Amino acid sequence: MNNDGRRRVNAVIEVEHLHKRYGETVAVDDVSFTVGRGEIFGILGRNGAGKTTTVECLVGLRAPDGGTIRVLGRDPLRDHAEVTRRVGVQLQDGQLQDRLRVGEAMRLYASFYPEPADGTALLEQLGLEGKERMPYGRLSGGQKQRLSIALALIGRPRIAVLDELTTGLDPHARRDTWDLIEAVRAAGVTIVLVTHFMPEAERLCDRVALIDAGRVVHTGTPAELVERSGEPTLEDAYVTLTRRTP
């Protein structure tokens, strides 16, 4: 679809005609979008639309079958070390050892990066202060989620890719997390947010790409998306634009 018409001068992420299949199944058919420096960019779509696969290609976890990806001008697969140093990632699902303590996880991940952030301050901002000695396996779902956000930010990334940022968080934690993401962006970090929670997209995203059945059906600001659909709210617009034709 329209790649929002204009090339962004300060593009930090450029995805062109991304195509990815698993055997016979096409996970991503044709996805293109551009993310500008300092933007909060939302990738919206239903479960199975191809959001997570797109993000996995973006961070170099998967090799695309077609198209090109540039992250900070580099190829996420070929320049893997370079890209991973500058891109912080929060993935869905658990990803730490059960007996690893919160403080140990923060110190370990801090050691991976040349100029890590202040782990204690990050834990405090995410409401995990005092949990340093708690093993990962004993954290609640929301605490695990917040720790995984902290680990995505510990390396002072230029880009943070956050998949299902606030899934499993209670409303207070969700709002605190939104505040944190806005503060991180204010510090100059570009944010790619995968979500199907419309209040989150509305509150945080400057622009969104709406993906359906492996293709981008709309790129623009949340307001433009609402306008184009003719619906009253973003949630209605989302439902209308991603409704499967029977």
Applying CB under 8 A, the residues found at the interface with other proteins are 59-61, 80-81, 84-85, 87, 89, 91, 93-100, 104, 107-109, 111-113, 151, 155
CB nearer other proteins, residue 9 or residue 81: 81
Closest distance of CB 12 from other proteins, Å: 17
Tell me which residue of 165, 63, 62, 80 sits closest to 71, measured CA to CA: 80
Q: How far is the CB of 158 from other proteins (least distance, A)?
A: 13
Q: How far is the CB of 59 from other proteins (least distance, A)?
A: 5
Give the shortest CB-113-to-other proteins separation in angstroms: 7
User: Across the chain, which distance is largest between two alpha carbons, in Å?
Assistant: 52
Place of tokens 């204009």: 6
Min. distance of Cβ 41 from other proteins in angstroms? 18
Closer by beta carbon to other proteins, 57 or else 210: 57
With CA atoms as reference, report the closest residue to 143 among 127, 132, 154.
127
Query: Which CB atom, from 59 or from 204, has the smaller least distance to other proteins?
Result: 59
Q: Between 140 and 221, whose beta carbon lies closer to other proteins?
A: 140
Count of CB atoms within 10 A of residue 92's CB?
A: 13
Do residues 78 and 86 make contact, with C-beta atoms less than 8 angstroms apart?
A: no
- Give how far Cα 94 sits from Cα of 91, 104, 110, 145, 168, Å: 8, 16, 19, 8, 12
CB closer to other proteins out of 151 and 169: 151
